[in-house]
Amino acid sequence: MKKHITLLAAASSLLLIPSLASAAPAKSNDEIIAGLRDNALQADNIAYEIVEGLTTEIGPRQGGTAAEARARIWAVAKLKALGFENVRVEEYQMPTWVRGGETAEITAPFAQKMAVAALGNSASTGDAGIDAEIVYFPTIDDLRAAPDGSLKGKIAFVSHNMKATQDGSSYGAFGPARFVGPNIAAKKGAAAIVIRSIGTDYHRNPHTGNTNFEPSVTPIPAGALSIPDAENLERMIARGKPVRMKLKLTPQNVGMQTSGNVLAEVKGSNPDLPIIVIACHLDSWDLGTGAIDDAAGCGIIGAAAKHLKSMGQPKRTVRLLWAGAEEVGIWGGRDYGEKHAREPHAFAMESDFGAGKVWAVDFNLPNSASALRMKITSALAPLGVVPRKDTAGGGADVGAIIAAQKLGIIDLQQDGTKYFDLHHTPDDTLDKIDRSELRQNVAAWVATLAYIANYEGELKPEPAQ
DSSP symbol at 325: S
CATH 3.40.630.10 residue ranges of the chain are 29-94+256-453
Q: Which CATH number fits domain 29-94+256-453: 3.30.70.141, 3.40.630.10, 3.40.50.2000, 3.30.300.90?
A: 3.40.630.10
The answer to whether residues 206 and 225 touch, using CB atoms and an 8 Å cutoff, is yes
Q: Among 406, 377, 386, 382, which Cα is nearest to 394's?
A: 406
355 DSSP β-pair partners: 353
Alpha carbon distance 285, 63 (integer Å) = 8
| Amino acid making up residue 92 | Y
The backbone torsions φ and ψ at residue 87, rounded to the nearest 5 degrees and listed phi first, read -75, 130
Instruction: Give the per-residue pLDDT at 27.
Output: 86
The whole-number average pLDDT for the span 337-357 is 98
- The sheet carrying 130-137 orders its strands as 112-114, 102-108, 244-249, 130-137, 155-158, 192-196, 222-225, 116-118
Confidence band (pLDDT; 50, 70, 90) for 390?
Answer: very high
Please tell me whether residue 252 adopts helix, strand or coil conformation.
Answer: strand
* 9 has pLDDT over 90: no
Instruction: Give the DSSP H or E segment for 453.
Output: helix 435-453
Cα–chain-centroid distance for residue 199? 16
Domain 102-252 is found in CATH 3.30.420.40: no
Confidence band (pLDDT; 50, 70, 90) for 23?
Answer: low
Give the tens place of pLDDT for each residue, 142-177.
999 999 999 999 999 999 999 999 999 999 999 999
Instruction: Give the per-residue pLDDT at 5.
Output: 37
Confidence band (pLDDT; 50, 70, 90) for 463?
Answer: confident
Half-sphere exposure of 412 (CA within 13 A, CB side): 35
Sign of the Cα pseudo-torsion (309, 410, 171, 64, in order) = positive
Q: Which residues contact 418 (CB under 8 A, 6 or more apart)?
A: 164, 354, 356
Instruction: Give the per-residue pLDDT at 25.
Output: 76
Alpha carbon distance 10, 133 (integer Å) = 101
Please tell me whether residue 219 adopts helix, strand or coil conformation.
Answer: coil
pTM over 0.85: yes
